[in-house]
Amino acid sequence: MDDDLITMDDMTNEEIVSLLKDAERLLPVAHGLEYLPLLQGKLLANMFFEPSTRTRMSFETAMKRLGGDVVNLGDVNSSSAVKGETLYDTMRMVDGYCDIAALRHPRQGAAQYAADACAIPIMNGGDGAGHHPTQTLLDLFTIQQAHGHLEGLTVALIGDLRYGRTVHSLSHALARFDCNLIFISPAQLAMPVDIVSDLIAAGANITETEDLYGSVPDADVIYMTRIQKERFPDEDEYMKVAGIYKLTAADLSGAKGEMIVMHPLPRLNEISSDVDETRHARYFEQAFNGVVARMALMCRLLGVAIPSGDV
C-alpha cells in the first residue's frame, strides 16, 4: 500500500480485504468496550477546507479511540486560507506539526497535491468532485457486514452521480470486485463519461437508467445520495432535479430480504423516515463504520500492527 490514500487505486483488492478484517477486529474499540491505545503519542491533523460533520468527527473519534490526539484546521473562514495562503504552505506547516493528516478541499486534486508536498501520510477526505476513498472503505465494510462478501453483488447507485465523489470512488472499488453496477440519475447528473469509460475498460458491468423503482428487485445494495446544491453552478439548475428520487418503505416491498439501503448522509428528502424502521436501512450503521474503517486505515498508514484475535 502507498504511504497515502488519495484514490482507491492506492490499494490492491487484497489490501482492501485485509483492511476490512482489521476494521472488524477494531469494532469493540470503536464501541468503547476495549481501550487499545495503539496510536498513543500520534497526532492527526484534520484539515477540512469544506464543511464536514461525519467525516471530520469520525477521523477524530477514530484517533482518540486509539489513544492519539487531533488538531483541527478550525473554521476555514478564520484560517490562513482566507488570507490567501497556498495549500502548499499550509500543508508544509502541518507536515511539521503532525504525524498524519486528513484533508477535505473544494478543489479537485488537492489531496494528491498535499501528498506531494508532505512527508506524513495524507488521507483524502474528499477533493471537489474527485474522490472520497475513506468513505469507500466504510461503504465496503458495511456491504461486507451485510452480505458476507463483496464479489458479484448488484449495487444500484442513485442520485447525483455527476458531482458525487462518494459514488465515483465506490464505483471504482466495486468494479474491481466484479459487482454489477446500476447507475440511476437524471441525465444532467449522470456519471461522468470519463469515469464510465474507465469502469468499462476495467471490465465493469454497468446499466444506466433514470428508473429507480424498477431496479429495486434486482439490487443487493441501494445506495442513495443527496443532490448536492453546493455543487451546482446556479439555483435554477438545482431546482430542476432537487427531490427527483424519494425512497419510501412501500417502494421496498419487492426488494430482496437481505438488500440494504445505504446513504453517505446527510440526507434531505431522498430517503423517507419510514425506511429507517425497515430491516433494509443501514445508513446509521454505515456512519458508525466510518470510525472503524478510519481506525484501521490510520494504523496501516502509520505502520502500526493491530494485535490479532480478541482485542
Partner 1 sequence: MSAGEMRRVTAINNGTVIDHVPAGSALTVLRMLGISGDRSSPISLVMNVPSSKHGRKDIIKVEDRELTQDELDRLALIAPKASVAIIRSYSVAEKREVSIGAELVNIASCTFSNCITINPREPQDHRLRVVNSDPLELRCRYCGRPQEMDELIDNLL
Residues acting as catalytic residues: 54-55, 83, 104, 132
Q: Is 97 in the site for partner 1 (CB under 8 A)?
A: no
Find residue 207's DSSP bridge partners: 182
Q: Which three cell numbers stand for residue 29?
A: 474499540
* DSSP-derived secondary structure for 86-106: -HHHHHHHHHHH-SEEEEEES
* Residues 221 and 212: beta-carbon distance below 8 Å: no
Find residue 206's DSSP bridge partners: 181
Residues in the chain: 311
Q: Is 4 in the site for partner 1 (CB under 8 A)?
A: no
Is the N-terminal amide bond of 133 cis, ω within 30° of 0?
Answer: no
Q: Is 116 in the site for partner 1 (CB under 8 A)?
A: yes
Q: Which residue type, as a one-letter code, is found at position 233?
A: P
Rounded distance between C-alpha atoms, residue 12 and residue 9, angstroms: 7
Q: Is 167 in the site for partner 1 (CB under 8 A)?
A: no
**Which CB sits closer to partner 1, 86 or 209?**
86
Q: Is 171 in the site for partner 1 (CB under 8 A)?
A: no
Residues 6+ apart with CB under 8 A from 38: 66, 67, 299, 304, 306
The tally of CA atoms less than 13 A away on the side-chain side of residue 52 is 29
**Of residues 191-220, which lie at the interface with partner 1 (CB under 8 A)?**
194
Q: Nearest approach, Cβ of 175 to partner 1 (angstroms)?
A: 16
**Of residues 23-52, which lie at the interface with partner 1 (CB under 8 A)?**
none
Q: Nearest approach, Cβ of 163 to partner 1 (angstroms)?
A: 10
* CA-wise closest residue to 10 among 123, 178, 116, 101: 123
Which element (helix H / strand E) includes 181? strand 180-184
Q: Nearest approach, Cβ of 1 to partner 1 (angstroms)?
A: 19
The 76-95 site mask, x for binding partner 1 (CB under 8 A), equals: --------x-xxx-------
**Which CB sits closer to partner 1, 105 or 282?**
105
**Of residues 118-147, which lie at the interface with partner 1 (CB under 8 A)?**
127-131
Q: Is 164 in the site for partner 1 (CB under 8 A)?
A: no
**Which CB sits closer to partner 1, 171 or 286?**
171
Q: Is 110 in the site for partner 1 (CB under 8 A)?
A: yes
DSSP character at residue 50: S
Q: Nearest approach, Cβ of 192 to partner 1 (angstroms)?
A: 9
- The DSSP bridge pattern shows strands 69-72 and 100-105 to be unpaired
Q: Nearest approach, Cβ of 115 to partner 1 (angstroms)?
A: 9
Q: Nearest approach, Cβ of 37 to partner 1 (angstroms)?
A: 35
The 224-263 site mask, x for binding partner 1 (CB under 8 A), equals: ----------------------------------------
The stretch near partner 1 (CB under 8 A) out of 103-111, 178-186, 249-257, 289-297 is 103-111
Give the gyration radius of the chain's Cα atoms.
19
* CA-wise closest residue to 264 among 227, 217, 302, 209: 227
Rounded distance between C-alpha atoms, residue 298 and residue 296, angstroms: 6
**Which CB sits closer to partner 1, 65 or 105?**
105
Count of residues interacting with partner 1 (CB under 8 A): 21
Q: Which residue type, as a one-letter code, is found at position 189?
A: L
Residues that bind partner 1 (CB under 8 A): 7, 84, 86-88, 105-110, 112-113, 116-117, 127-131, 194
